[in-house]
Amino acid sequence: MTSVATARRRLALSRFWADFRRQRAGVVGLVILLVAVLLALVAPLFIDESVTSVVTGTGPKWAPPSLEYPFGTDESGRSILLMVWWGSRTSLLIGFLAALLSIVIGMVVGITAGHFRGWIGASLMRVTDWFLVLPSLVTAMVLAAILGGSTFTIIMAIGVTTWPTTARLIRAQTLAVEARPYIERSKALGAGHWHITTRHVLPNVAPLLLASTTLEVASAIVTESTLAFLGVSSNKTSWGTMLRGSYDWGAPTQGAWWYILIPGLAILAVVMAFMLAGRALEAVLNPQLRRAS
Amino acid sequence: MTAPLDAVEPAVQAAGSAEEPQARRGTLRYALSKAGGALFSIAMVIVGTFFVFRLLPGDPVRNLAQGRNMTPAQLDLERHRLGLDKPLIDQFFDFVGDTLRLDLGTSYEYKRPVLDLIGERLGPTLLLTGTGLVIAVSLGLWQGTHAGWRHGSRFDRFSTGASLVLWSVPTFWLGLLLMMVLGVGIGPIPGLFPFRGIESIDAPDGFAYVLDVASHMVLPCLTLVAVVYAQYLLVMRSSLLEEVSQDYVTVARAKGLRDDDVRKRHAVPNALLPTVTLVFMRIGFVVGGAVTVETIFTWPGLGQLFYEAVSVPDFTLMQGTFLLITVAVIVMNTLADVVYHMIDPRVRSA
């Protein structure tokens, strides 16, 4: 029984990959993503945190891009290239973990609300709707300011304010899945809540979760950089804190375009890559979902 | 399309006229239930705010005093003045009562009532976000309509691509770029627009003053519009795409109407409904954008006040501005729900 299911899933997965490969923009996004993640992971092999230190910045101040400093230097003579490279670790880490937290909360709430349709589901949706109307950036700023700026609190602040959209999406999908006849058969055979939600509902909402995780990481990276720019950050160099620095030191009036352009382009490239991959995922998954229901 | 049209229509009309008063009563009931929901949400925000702000690590008085040197006696006095020596439950009822009386406390940074500060900053914010929203909505709807109508055309692909890029761009980065290029000027290009504050130091009077403020508003407004309008474009486009394949559009075409008429009189009015509601629904997003834009361009609005409160940090001011912004967003959302219900008969009958 299980081996049949495994074989079927492996077949579905290979068909899915074949479909995804046909989405050219999605493949481009995926490649950019893999490169960015790989670069962030191998960064400690080549450089260390000292590239972000004001003390050890030895280059000329406000130097425009040159051979020695391909992306120029900042107000303390630090290389923008190395800072962007090192900063990618914080930006990506917060982006991934915040998205993960948001997706996990959204998934648990969504499946629970869709499965238990009585007062539990109703009150969970009430809470979801309440979180949904809260202006997320403003709420995240308040949470981060109150809990103090550390990587952990920034992740919490982003995760706690962004889960409701996922919860709604997953609840709708759970309702659709649970309306299918095999769920009823499974119930008749004596399946409990845990079995139905983890063995039948979860595998069916998983593709949707993957797509929304991808999009969620993109928005979490933007939110992290915005929070850092607005002064609530984890005090570690990220793309957002670099842009904050460029603003504080008057890079626009200094004409130091490289100081503003490079960290921003890094954000844009990674976010666009996530968006492209996420949209491609959705495009691949949607017809399947339609066919299945 | 199984029954002949003329046989169905009178029946539908009869049913429609009989249900008219009932539908209106339904709308009222719907509006009341939505208002009840909004009141509940606002109550939850007040309760939530109280507890979240009590989560502050450390002694609240010391937090408020910002590390200024105070004797223990002064601390006690301050604690008593703020009512922090009372039990938590009493503090809670004091807080709720004060908030309902719109007494939001006194700012530590400004030594003035929070409500007065908010009052001063409300005008500039409404001016900036109002103008930005009007431009963003009209531009987004117009471009979204044309992109959706000519689905797959070069204009469509360009619009969709551009809005995806704008969607991914962090608001503050776009603001910085615009400030550098159009505000400071780059290379041979001189700066075209002022980028600090709402008026010049030697602001002129009369009509010249209006022009002065308007020129200060160009860059913040442009940034806000660029980020916000992309989503309206995408929503309008997909909403129009849904209408294009409907039967009534085919009928309108079959009647021999010109393409423009089919679009303007048949497809767009129907596609507008969900889009306009979404404009109000996503108001929280606009608020977030306003905080960022006002901070960059030091626009003296509510968003900047909130930013100052967070960066000092001035917790009373932060609490007050947060409450106001959140309540405003909840009210806007509820209005959107009710208006949607009133103007879209399909939702009403459901």
pLDDT tens sequence across B58-112: 556 666 665 566 677 777 777 777 667 777 788 888 888 888 888 888 887 788 8
CB within 8 Å: B55 and A230: no
Residue whose tokens read 């960290």: A263
Task: Report pLDDT for B16.
Answer: 43
CA distance A126 to B122: 31
CA distance A207 to B237: 26
Can you give the three-state secondary structure of B37-72, one letter per residue?
Answer: HHHHHHHHHHHHHHHHHHCCCCCHHHHHHCCCCCCH
Domain total for chain B? Answer: 1
Question: How many angstroms away from the CA of A198 is the closest CA of chain B?
Answer: 32
A60 interface with B at CB cutoff 8 Å: no
Q: Is the pLDDT of residue A76 over 70?
A: yes
Interval B342-349 mean pLDDT = 67
Task: Report pLDDT for A287.
Answer: 56
Q: Is the pLDDT of residue A107 over 90?
A: yes
pLDDT digits 0-9 by tens, B325-341:
999 889 888 888 888 77
CB within 8 Å: A138 and B322: yes
The CATH class, in words, for A80-285 is mainly alpha
More confident residue, B55 or A11: A11
Q: Quick check: B129 and B286 in contact, CB under 8 A? A: yes
CA distance B335 to B332: 5
* All structural domains of chain A with their residue ranges: 80-285
Question: How many angstroms away from the CA of B285 is the closest CA of chain A?
Answer: 6
Closest C-alpha among A102, A292, A271 to residue A207: A292
| Residues in a beta bridge with A73 | A79
Closest C-alpha among A230, A288, A293 to residue A20: A288
CA B346 to chain centre: 26
Q: Is the pLDDT of residue A97 over 70?
A: yes
Interval A176-203 mean pLDDT = 88
Closest C-alpha among B283, B172, B223 to residue A233: B172
Q: Which residues of A touch B179 (CB under 8 A)?
A: 252
Task: Report pLDDT for B270.
Answer: 83
Distance in angstroms between the alpha carbons of the first and the last residue of chain B: 21
Task: Report pLDDT for A159.
Answer: 93
Task: Report pLDDT for A190.
Answer: 87
CA distance A44 to A40: 8
The CATH number assigned to the domain holding B190 equals 1.10.3720.10
A252 interface with B at CB cutoff 8 Å: yes
Task: Report pLDDT for B21.
Answer: 59
Find which of B310, B315, B332 to mutate to test the A interface (most A CBs within 10 Å of its CB): B310
Question: How many angstroms away from the CA of A149 is the closest CA of chain B?
Answer: 11
In a domain, B75, yes or no: no
More confident residue, B60 or A9: A9
For chain A, the residue count is: 293
In a domain, B247, yes or no: yes
Question: How many angstroms away from the CA of A267 is the closest CA of chain B?
Answer: 8
CB within 8 Å: B52 and A141: no
Axis crossing angle, helix B315-343 with helix A119-133, rounded to the nearest 10: 110
CA distance A157 to A223: 10
Q: Which two tokens stand for residue A158?
A: 């982003």
Q: Is the pLDDT of residue B203 over 80?
A: no
CB within 8 Å: A260 and B55: no
Task: Report pLDDT for A210.
Answer: 86
CA distance B268 to B240: 7
ipTM of the complex: 0.85
pLDDT digits 0-9 by tens, A212-236:
888 899 989 999 999 998 888 767 8
CB within 8 Å: B170 and A139: no
pLDDT digits 0-9 by tens, A19-50:
888 888 889 999 999 999 999 898 888 887 77
CB within 8 Å: B57 and A267: no
Interval A158-174 mean pLDDT = 91
In a domain, B325, yes or no: yes
In a domain, B288, yes or no: yes
Task: Report pLDDT for A112.
Answer: 93
Question: How many angstroms away from the CA of B20 is the closest CA of chain A?
Answer: 31
Q: Is the pLDDT of residue B3 over 80?
A: no
Task: Report pLDDT for B56.
Answer: 65
Give the chain A residue whose CA is nearest to the CA of B321. Answer: A138
What is the residue-averaged pLDDT of chain A?
85
Q: Domain span at residue B161?
A: 27-57+104-349
CB within 8 Å: A142 and B171: no
Task: Report pLDDT for A292.
Answer: 40
Q: How is chain B split among helix, strand and coil, in percent rounded to 5?
A: 80, 0, 20
CB within 8 Å: B306 and A138: yes
Task: Report pLDDT for A98.
Answer: 94
CB within 8 Å: B176 and A253: no
* A/B interface, count of CB pairs below 8 Å: 124
Closest C-alpha among B180, B188, B277, B187 to residue B232: B277
Closest C-alpha among B293, B313, B312 to residue B303: B293
In a domain, B9, yes or no: no
In a domain, B157, yes or no: yes
- Percent with pLDDT over 70 in chain B: 85
In a domain, B66, yes or no: no
Task: Report pLDDT for A217.
Answer: 92
CA distance B74 to B230: 53
Q: Is the pLDDT of residue B11 over 50?
A: no
Hey, how many other C-beta atoms are within 10 angstroms of the C-beta on A65? 16
In a domain, B84, yes or no: no
Task: Report pLDDT for A9.
Answer: 79
pLDDT digits 0-9 by tens, B154-195:
898 899 888 888 888 888 999 998 888 888 777 677 777 887
pLDDT tier at A57, thresholds 50, 70, 90? low
- Residue-wise over B95-106: b if at least 16 C-beta within 10 A, else e? beeebeeeebbb
Hey, how many other C-beta atoms are within 10 angstroms of the C-beta on B309? 27
Phi/psi region, residue B73 (left: phi>0; alpha: psi -120 to 50; beta: rest), is alpha
CB within 8 Å: B53 and A136: no
Closest C-alpha among A15, A21, A217, A16 to residue A101: A217
Task: Report pLDDT for B18.
Answer: 46
Give the chain A residue whose CA is nearest to the CA of B296. Answer: A247
pLDDT digits 0-9 by tens, A125-142:
989 988 888 888 999 998
Give the chain B residue whose CA is nearest to the CA of A255. Answer: B186
CB within 8 Å: B288 and A137: yes
CA distance A276 to B22: 48
CA distance B166 to B163: 5
Q: Is the pLDDT of residue A271 over 50?
A: yes
Task: Report pLDDT for A35.
Answer: 92
Which of B65-74, B195-204, B248-257, B278-287 is predicted least confidently? B65-74
Question: How many angstroms away from the CA of B292 is the closest CA of chain A?
Answer: 7
